[in-house]
């Protein structure tokens, strides 16, 4: 830790070592050359040891002093050895001094080498040139002296050069070692990165490739070889790629490759026919790069077989679920499409069967039946079971709209079409576009509206009131009436052609008196419905009340029964529903003696009495030569209309 702190301190001060310092600083010089100031901890330890001297100057100059000292010591040693009589080296002073110069220059460098040369020259001139032991001029020995000096300089230069060469070799060796270590680390990192990349490609089933369009050269990763099913030793080519392409996709792949050679990218999916007979689905994506080698594509190929199979399986399961859902919905619709139409009597089931048959078609339907029998519920059931169920169901009671406004209600009007028409209005036919329009009490339509409705049914178009533009309509027409339309045709109050247009598929809803077995179900249904709204708990119905309800003829049909049950729930204080029988009694009004009845009422009473008498004589039969119509001398349809208008129960005149 101390060495690291010292290194940080030296880096902060920008500390630099000179080349003359005899330290293992070759690596530091190399790092300096590379632009780095990093010092290793071992170098810092040597520097710290040298900086411990109390004299900072001495610490910095100590290597130079040692070098010069070695030079002086080596020359002195050579001088002494040359004069040592025991060694008999008096004739070899030149060799000894040259060795001293060489040694000093090799150890200390240029400076110590020059010092050794000077000292050796002085010692040689003084002790070995005649006259000996004298510094006087010696002209005769000067050539010999100059030869010695030149020899010393040459030897010293060689030593310095050798020293520098050795240092350079040491630096080169260290640099090479560092380079080798760096390359080793780089290769290890590269190998690790390639291993990670290969593992990632294997996990993601994605291989990489390079394609030179000009030369046709291909480079594949290991995963690409695995995807295409080729051995790693084989050289990848475009031809080998096309060999694996599924025959049905080959032409498309070739076209994409031709287009890719002139574009900047390509993105395609195709199948591969593998040698083992299996089929793979791959996604190929690449982008172009232009360089000295020409146009090259760098891309990736992904094996999406598993994903595609999963998607296909999900799609198949989704389709299967959709079909099962449709089937289930149809079953539920068949079971519960008439959830508001309560009953199980044969008469009602016959009606519902006809509804189920006509609903999918777009045929016009005419629903007939007495008031209160639920004709609108039948119309809604037809709409719900039809292909138009997702669109609007628009209803209009033709008898409830004023005569002058019925055209505007049906077909709409333009702004200013009549007084009060301050803006354009959309009619019921436009609102029901693509859906169903229900015309209740269609027998009450005025003659001019009957003509307009006939045109809609024939031409499937209409005009707004006050406008000249014709509009096409795609609304299905379902009509209903409680009147005898055939009798109205005979009387001239209803158009025969309109009747036949409406009567494409007739459905007659039976009155409640013809489905008495449904009364307990209806009573229970209405009792639970109104008890829930009132917050009451009704668990059963009084037996006597139920018998009274079943024996009653119900001229008002289901609507009358609904009102009676709601009234009974309101006044009920127990968990058993009780119905007041006085609510069910209806008597034919009889003229009280001394009381004058209005003419219309008197005629109505007389008409009722005549019809009831004729029905009694004919055993409740209306048609036929012995029927009530023949006895009264009127058409059958007229008699049916009057029976409905007077609410006469034909059934009670039939004998068992």
- Structural domain includes residue 331: no
Query: Where do we find the tokens 């009264």?
Result: 632
Q: Between these two residues, 334 and 534, which has the higher pLDDT value?
A: 534
Asked if residue 603 and residue 577 are part of one domain, the reply reads no
Kindly report the average pLDDT of the chain as a whole number. 79
Instruction: Domain of residue 617: give its range.
Output: 599-653
Q: Which of 304, 374, 315, 330 is nearest to 526 (CA)?
A: 374
User: Do 249 and 286 lie in a common domain?
Assistant: yes
Residues 463 and 350 in one domain: yes
* Average pLDDT score over residue span 447-461: 90
Q: What is the CATH number of the domain that holds 462?
A: 3.40.50.300
349 and 271 inside one domain = no
State how many domains the chain has.
5
Q: Is residue 26 part of a domain?
A: no
Residue 62, domain member (yes or no) = yes
Q: What is the pLDDT of residues 354-398, one digit of tens each?
A: 999 999 998 999 999 998 888 999 999 999 999 999 998 999 999
Q: In what order do the strands lie in the sheet with 206-212?
A: 218-220, 206-212, 294-303, 279-291, 265-273
Whether cis (ω within 30° of 0) applies to the bond prior to 553 is no
Question: Is there a single domain that holds both residue 402 and residue 277?
Answer: no
Measured distance CA(303)–CA(579) in Å, rounded: 77
Domain shared by 356 and 420, yes or no:
yes
CA distance 223 to 286: 16
- Fill in the DSSP letter of residue 53: S
* pLDDT on residue 602: 65
| Residue 385 forms part of a structural domain | yes
Judgement on whether residues 297 and 443 belong to the same structural domain of the protein: no
Number of Cβ within 10 Å of residue 614's Cβ equals 21
What is the pLDDT averaged over residues 162-187? Answer: 89
Residue 496 in any domain: the answer is yes
Contact in structure between 260 and 253 (CB atoms under 8 Å)? no
* Nearest by Cα to 554 from 524, 605, 595, 510: 510
Whether 520 and 505 share a structural domain:
no
Residue 638 lies in a domain: yes
491 and 361 belong to one structural domain: yes
pLDDT at residue number 592: 38
63, 207 contact by CB (below 8 A): no
C-alpha to C-alpha distance for 272 and 244, rounded to whole angstroms: 5
Q: Which residue has the higher pLDDT, 528 or 10?
A: 528
Q: Which residue has the higher pLDDT, 321 or 453?
A: 453
The verdict on residue 316 lying in a domain is no
CATH number at residue 244: 3.30.450.20
List the structure tokens of 137: 């001029």
Nearest to 134 by CA among 124, 149, 120, 144: 124
Give residue 100's Cα distance to chain centre.
90
Task: Please indicate, yes or no, whether residues 351 and 498 belong to a single structural domain of this protein.
Answer: yes
356 lies in the same domain as 386 = yes
In a domain, 438, yes or no: yes
Q: How far is the CA of 561 from the CAs of 380, 494, 522, 566, in angstroms?
A: 21, 32, 8, 9
Report the CATH number that the domain containing residue 580 is assigned in CATH.
1.10.8.60
What pLDDT is stored for residue 21 in this prediction? 37
Percent of the chain with pLDDT over 90: 16
Which tokens belong to 441?
Answer: 């009490």
136 and 157 in one domain?
yes
Q: Collapsing DSSP states into helix, strand and coil, what is residue 472?
A: strand
- Most confident of the ranges 174-188, 219-233, 335-349, 638-652: 174-188
Q: Per-residue pLDDT tens for 291-323? A: 777 778 888 889 888 888 888 788 777 766 765
Q: Which of 155, 93, 152, 101 is nearest to 126 (CA)?
A: 93
């Amino acid at each position: 830790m101390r060495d690291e702190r010292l290194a940080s301190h030296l880096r902060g001060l920008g500390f630099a070592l000179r080349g003359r310092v005899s330290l293992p600083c070759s690596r530091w010089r190399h790092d300096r050359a590379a632009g780095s100031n990093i010092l290793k901890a071992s170098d810092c330890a040597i520097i710290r040891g040298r900086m411990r001297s109390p004299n900072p100057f001495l610490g910095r100059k100590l290597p130079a002093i040692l070098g010069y000292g070695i030079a002086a010591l080596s020359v002195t040693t050579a001088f002494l050895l040359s004069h040592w009589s025991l060694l008999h080296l008096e004739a070899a002073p030149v060799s000894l001094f040259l060795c001293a110069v060489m040694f000093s220059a090799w150890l200390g460098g240029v400076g110590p080498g020059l010092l050794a040369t000077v000292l050796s020259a002085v010692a040689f001139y003084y002790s070995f040139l005649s006259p000996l032991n004298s510094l006087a001029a010696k002209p005769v020995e000067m050539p010999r002296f100059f030869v010695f000096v030149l020899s010393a300089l040459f030897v010293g230069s060689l030593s310095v050069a050798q020293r520098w060469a050795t240092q350079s070799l040491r630096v080169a060796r260290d640099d090479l070692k560092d380079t080798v270590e760096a390359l080793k680390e780089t290769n290890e990192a590269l190998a690790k990165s390639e291993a990670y990349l290969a593992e990632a490609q294997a996990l993601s089933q994605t291989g990489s490739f390079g394609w030179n369009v000009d030369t046709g050269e291909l480079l594949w990763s290991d995963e690409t070889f695995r995807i295409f099913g080729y051995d790693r030793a084989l050289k990848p080519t475009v031809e080998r790629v096309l060999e694996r392409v599924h025959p049905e996709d080959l032409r498309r792949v070739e076209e994409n490759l031709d287009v890719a050679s002139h574009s900047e990218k390509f993105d395609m999916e195709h199948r591969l026919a593998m040698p083992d007979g299996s089929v793979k689905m791959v996604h190929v994506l690449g982008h172009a790069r232009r360089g000295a080698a020409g146009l090259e594509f760098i891309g990736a190929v992904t094996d999406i077989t598993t994903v595609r199979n999963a998607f296909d399986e999900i799609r198949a399961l989704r389709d299967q679920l959709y079909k099962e859902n449709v089937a289930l919905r149809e079953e539920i619709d068949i079971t519960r499409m008439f959830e508001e139409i309560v009953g199980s009597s044969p008469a009602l089931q016959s009606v519902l069967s006809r509804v189920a048959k006509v609903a999918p078609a777009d045929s016009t339907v005419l629903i007939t039946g007495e008031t209160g029998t639920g004709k609108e519920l039948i119309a809604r059931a037809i709409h719900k079971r039809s292909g138009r169920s997702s669109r609007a169901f628009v209803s209009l009671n033709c008898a409830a709209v004023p005569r002058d406004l019925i055209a505007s209600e049906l077909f709409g009007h333009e702004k200013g079409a009549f007084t009060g028409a301050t803006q354009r209005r959309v009619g019921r036919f436009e609102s029901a576009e693509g859906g169903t329009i229900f015309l209740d009490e269609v027998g009450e339509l005025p003659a001019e509206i009957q003509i307009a409705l006939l045109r809609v049914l024939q031409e499937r178009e209409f005009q707004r009131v006050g406008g000249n533009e014709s509009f096409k309509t795609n609304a299905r027409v379902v009509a209903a009436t409680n009147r005898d339309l055939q009798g109205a045709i005979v009387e001239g109050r209803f158009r025969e052609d309109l009747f036949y247009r409406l009567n494409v598929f007739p459905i007659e809803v039976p009155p409640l008196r013809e489905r008495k077995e449904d009364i307990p179900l209806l009573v229970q249904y209405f009792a639970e419905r109104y008890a829930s709204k009132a917050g009451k708990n009704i668990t059963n119905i009084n037996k006597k009340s139920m018998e009274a309800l079943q024996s009653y003829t119900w001229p008002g049909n289901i609507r009358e029964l609904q009102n009676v049950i709601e009234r009974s729930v309101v006044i009920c204080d127990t968990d058993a529903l009780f119905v007041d029988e006085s609510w069910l009694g209806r008597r034919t009004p009889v003229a009280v003696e001394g009381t004058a009845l209005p003419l219309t009422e008197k005629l109505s009473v007389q008409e009722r009495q005549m019809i009831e008498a004729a029905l009694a004589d004919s055993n409740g039969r209306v048609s036929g030569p012995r029927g009530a119509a023949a006895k009264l001398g009127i058409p059958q349809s007229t008699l049916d209309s009057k029976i409905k208008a007077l609410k006469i129960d034909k059934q009670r005149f039939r004998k068992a």
